[in-house]
Amino acid sequence: MNKVLLHPNLHLILLTGISISIPLPRLVGNIFIIVSFAISLYVFKKNKKGLKDLLDASFIFPAVFYTYILLNGLYGYNSNEFLRQIDKNFLALIIPFSLLTLLKPFFFDKIKKTYSYALVLITLSLILINIINLLSGGPSSMYYFHDFTEFVGINAVYFSLFLSLGILICLNQVYKRIDIKINLIFLLTFALGLLFCASKAIIAATIIVSLIHEIFSKKSKKTLLFIISIGTIFTFIIYSNPYLKERFVEGVKYDLIFETSDELANAKEFSNSEIDNISDLELRAIFLKISIYHLVNDGNLLFGYGVSDYQDYLDYYYMVYGLAPFHYEGYSPHNQYAYSLVSSGIIGLLILVLYLVYSFFQNFKYNNLLGLCFLILICIAMLFETYLLRTKGIIFFFFFNTYFLLDNKQHENSNFRNKGYT
């Protein structure tokens, strides 16, 4: 039994299991995460590791992140929300620990490849379901956005992010001249899935990051032309499809005149008709203005409203402006940076930013183009969504960011071997 628990093949199965379960229902991923953590604790103890073995930035930053959330939430009033936040964000601690303990150098390519293969099978399944729905008739809206990902129970915006990483992995494989035809087919499949997900921000971010990858790789003009061609075709499809055109054109309109006020009795109150006509971009601007303005005005800039109570404060101000209770009660600022600031203050935002900056530095230092593109994608995506507010976002970010940091580590020097990564 001891040999089984310490065997690298078991560790590979567990870590690849986490990666391939990211685009699947949460229960599947939870099984792999819990078992991986239990095995990693056993391996850590069996190999007589100590605290000094955890002095790695890939674990230290998540540990500081989690510790601060724990301390920040202790001073809140909403105990149920505090427990929910502590439970959910515990993933940010155990996933890096599992990777740090179980990951071996020969795992990296296998994890990346398995993720792509699993994701392409899931995407093809969703596309097949879409084709069946198309043959059975129905409005065009039922083939896109959340309806497209309903079968796997994943938010379409999050699934878009998973697909975007899949595209970057395929581009990176083509850049390395590995299974070029297969990866181009996978890339096209992911791109089609991305179109059906219809997430404006992620589609735009994916195009930007894909172009950055090809420009900096300086490897294949044909691949760059391929990306531009797909972008052109998708643009034509979007403008010729009424549903997509409304999402991509009407969704980004901005002619809003809105100012926050500390005199709440005189604050602008949106009517139902005004709310119905607010675009996605305008709504995010409203959330951003309300959350930041009142956070500063209430004198909570340093520590935020607290991870336990921030939503109660936001909902109160949404009501003041007529956006709740029947419309946007329970909505986050839809911006990860603003959310971190509102919930945990400048300190919480600083921890996140330092973690991102360190990750950028490490990927740049070791010329990890895929890791850099992943971070650029994440940083853009966080401008439009609070990905670390949901379990899937936490798993995706901390798993792959730790993966790239440790991938860089294995190229550093022989110390990587001495720390137990072989």
Taking only the tens place, the pLDDT of each residue in 391-422 is 999 999 999 999 999 999 877 654 443 444 33
**286 or 277: whose pLDDT is higher?**
286
d(CA 247, CA 141): 10
**413 or 9: whose pLDDT is higher?**
9
Taking only the tens place, the pLDDT of each residue in 342-365 is 999 999 999 999 999 999 999 999
Provide the pLDDT for residue 220.
63
Is a pLDDT exceeding 50 seen at residue 248? yes
How many residues does the structure list for the chain? 422
264-270 long-range Cβ contacts below 8 angstroms, 24+ apart: 264/320, 267/320, 267/321, 268/321, 269/320, 269/321, 269/322, 270/321, 270/322, 270/323
Is a pLDDT exceeding 80 seen at residue 133? yes
Record the pTM. Answer: 0.93
pLDDT cut 70: percent of the chain above it: 95
d(CA 6, CA 47): 9
Model confidence band, residue 48 (pLDDT cutoffs 50, 70, 90): confident
Is a pLDDT exceeding 80 seen at residue 250? no
d(CA 382, CA 337): 7
Model confidence band, residue 75 (pLDDT cutoffs 50, 70, 90): confident
58 CB-near residues (< 8 Å, 6+ apart): 96, 99, 100, 402, 405, 406, 409
Taking only the tens place, the pLDDT of each residue in 162-171 is 999 999 999 9
Provide the pLDDT for residue 101.
95
What is the domain partition of the chain in residue ranges? 56-85+255-422, 110-252
Find the mean pLDDT for residues 327-347: 95
Is a pLDDT exceeding 90 seen at residue 4? no
Is a pLDDT exceeding 70 seen at residue 236? yes
**2 or 109: whose pLDDT is higher?**
109
Model confidence band, residue 219 (pLDDT cutoffs 50, 70, 90): low
Provide the pLDDT for residue 277.
86
Given a contact cutoff of 8 angstroms between Cβ atoms, the answer to whether 372 and 364 are in contact is yes
Is a pLDDT exceeding 50 seen at residue 201? yes
Taking only the tens place, the pLDDT of each residue in 113-123 is 999 999 999 99
Provide the pLDDT for residue 309.
95
Provide the pLDDT for residue 182.
95
Asked, as a colleague might, if the bond just before 325 is cis with ω within 30 of 0, I would say: yes
Is a pLDDT exceeding 50 seen at residue 90? yes
Eight-state DSSP code of residue 150: G
Provide the pLDDT for residue 140.
66
Provide the pLDDT for residue 417.
39
Q: Which of 283, 291, 348 is nearest to 316 (CA)?
A: 291
| Mean predicted lDDT score pLDDT of the chain | 90
- Which region holds residue 332: left if phi is over 0, alpha if psi is between -120 and 50, else beta? beta
Phi (first) and psi of residue 273, to 5 degrees: -65, -35
Q: Which two tokens stand for residue 247?
A: 């999402």
Burial of 175 (0-12, 13-18, 19+ CB in 10 A): buried
Is a pLDDT exceeding 50 seen at residue 251? yes
Given a contact cutoff of 8 angstroms between Cβ atoms, the answer to whether 77 and 308 are in contact is yes
